[in-house]
Each structure stands twice: as structure tokens, then as C-alpha cells.
A and B are shown apart, each in its own frame.
Chain A
Amino acid sequence: MLDSNLNNLRAQIEPTLVALEAERLRQVNTCKTTAFWCAGLAIIVALVVGGIGNGANIFMIVPLIFACIVYAALASGANNKYSGSFKQMVTPQLVKNFGDLSYSANSGMSEAAFNRANLHQNPDRYKSEDLIEGTIGATRVQMSEVHAEDERKHTDSKGHTTTTYTTIFRGLFVIADFNKNFNGTTYILPEGLSGSLGGFGRGIQSLGGTISGRGALVQLEDPNFERAFMVYSSDQTEARYILSSSFMSRLMNLKAHFNSNVSAAFISGSLYLMIPKRENWFEPPNLNMPLTFASVETTLRQLQMATGIVEELDLNTRIWSKQ
């Protein structure tokens, strides 16, 4: 972001930050008061319990544990309240600086869209939040943070069943209007181990494409791109039309930019992009940190990275028949 834009943004959100700082201090005080009362009451009850039991005993620890639980619940409530206010008052203003965009903290990309992308298996548990949607230049975009998990049940020798969840995908999920017309489907996935197995590996990859319904393996001319990605498509020519040499290099840059195994699908005129990242996207600064313009830098950086995808992939160039 340019310095002049940054200064404008600072001037624009400064009053909101001041108001929210007062709210943060109130929540911090609530936490401190809660801590004081919880600790005080726990000590008194523990002493009473010690007196009844004629000296120190193991039961004295019970009120302390109980006090910790009560404190954690109340502090978490205060943190959520602050976080909710930040997302309601600050994030929408930050988002508007990157395009004609709106922000909704409690909405997200739908599970149906995640499944339609066909870049991962369908999840058993799906969560998404922080939806940003609107247009950046000529490109319509939708994006949110997504956490998709697979359920696994284990039964031990005694017949007890435990359920665990493993992450299929966690990160940023983006759908953007693509700037070229196409009819088929094309998928770009990170290159796996099979890529190093030569012809045998290609055979495995081809089989994988058929089983997953992604289509035939497309072998492209760019060796760097081929080392980083495998491409499947229902139409060999169309895949090459989408993946021009400049677009391949842009995708490589995007992968480097996010330092992540980016995957993409081109379906019904749209680009579905999944960027795995463990970090928590678009979250407010810690409750204990004084709220200044500098403390929203992480959110700002994340927004810049996420909305920068449009420019990175040159999606606003509309020189083809699709406008």
C-alpha cells in the first residue's frame, strides 16, 4: 500500500481505534477484576477447606481449579466481545480500502463451493468465517478463511469408539471471476512424490485424475511449473489456453508470495483458489496489546496479500471477449 494511502487510512480509522481502545481497556479491567475476585474467593474457600480438614489437604486444590475455570470462561467472553467489536468496527473499514468490498465476520464460503472446487475430498466437519466479497477492479471476488476436517473413528479392543478429526484444508479459499471464457474444467494441484518417478509416476497421476473425475493429465512445456504443479483437464487445448506461459509464471509467483502449496480449479468461468496457511486470518490484535494503527498492521498485511491475488494473477486484464 502506498504511503499516501496508508496515511489516508490512518486518518480515517483513527477515531474508531480510539473508541475501540476505550472498549479494550474496559474489557481488560473486567479481566483484572475477575482475576482478583476469583483468586480471592478461591484462597478463602481453600483456607476454609484446609481448616475443616485440620491442615493442608488435597481438597484445597479444588476451589483453585474451579476459580481458574471461571476466570478462563469470563476472560474468553471479554476477549470475544473485543474481537467482535474490532471485526464490526475496524475490519470493514480496512477491507474497503482494497476495492469495492464488504466484510462479514460470521459468514464464510459455503461448503457446497468447497466441494464443487474438487481440490480436496469432501469434509465431514467444515467451518468458515471472515467473508470478504465484492469487486476489485473488474473482477468479482469472494474469499474467506476455511477449516475443513475429515472425521476418523477408532475402535479399540474393548469396543470403545473414539472420534478424531484431521485437517484436510486450513487457509484461505478464494473464488474469483476469471478473465477468459472456457467451457471445461481444469485443476492445478501441487506436485506430489509421484512427480519424481518419471513415466511410472505419470501413470499413477493419470490414474488419480481419472478416479477423482478431474480429467486427463496435462503435460506443459514449462519445466519449473511442471516441477511445482500437476494439471488435469477435461480439455487439453483449453487447459493451455487458460495456462498461457505468462499465467503459469504468475501462479509460480503466487505460490512463492504465499510460501504455500497453492491449488486451483477453473470451473464455470470462475477460478477457485485454495491457499493453505495455518495462521489465523483477519483476526484482531491481542486484547493485552494497546490498540494503535501499528497494531492493525498484521490484519492489513493479510488483507493486502489476499486481495493482491487479483493483481498477482492479472485478473483485471480484460482484453478477451469476456468483460
Chain B
Amino acid sequence: MTMHARFAVFSLVATVVYVLAYNFGWQAFAYYPLLNRISLDKLPAKEAGPAMMYYGWMTTALIAGLVVAAIVPNKIAAKLPAAVAWVVPLLLVAFTLVYEKHWFL
């Protein structure tokens, strides 16, 4: 269980960082489907077409989750209450609905 407790740490960190990433624009990169190109810099929309940040947000969250899960001491990981694993995602769902409400107003 001790080693496996890192799984819960990964989930916690990656879900939170994903939401922070789309909220604050922390994408690791942007993907330009019209050019089929990944770019670390923002390209002009006129030539590059629409930018997709989704893959970049996912990558940011994945890296953050893996790094924290790898370095967190086993003792701390094992102490993570099980409730955190479901309370945090529910809060993130609520945040997402509030964040995206502008589409419906």
C-alpha cells in the first residue's frame, strides 16, 4: 500500500494542476492542427490557424503528477486521507462548471 499510495498522490496533483493549467494558461506547448505543428511559442492566428492548448495542459499535468509522485516521501503519501481522492475531484468539477459558465450566459 505504501508504494501504491503514490498513485493517489499522482491523481491529486495531476487533476489539480490540469485545472490550474487551463485556468492560468500553463500549457507545456500549443498544437496547431492546421499546420500539424507543436510550438512552444504562440504563432500568429492568421497564418497558423487556431491553437489547441488541451494537449499542452494534459502534458503539464502529467509531468507535475509524475514528478511529485516520484519525490514525495512514502510516509507522507501513505498519510494522504482517502477522502482527498474524491473531495478534490468534486471541487474541480464545480470549478470547471463555474469557469465554463460564460458559454451559457
State whether these chains interact: no
Q: Which residues from chain A sit less than 8 Å from chain B, CB to CB?
A: none
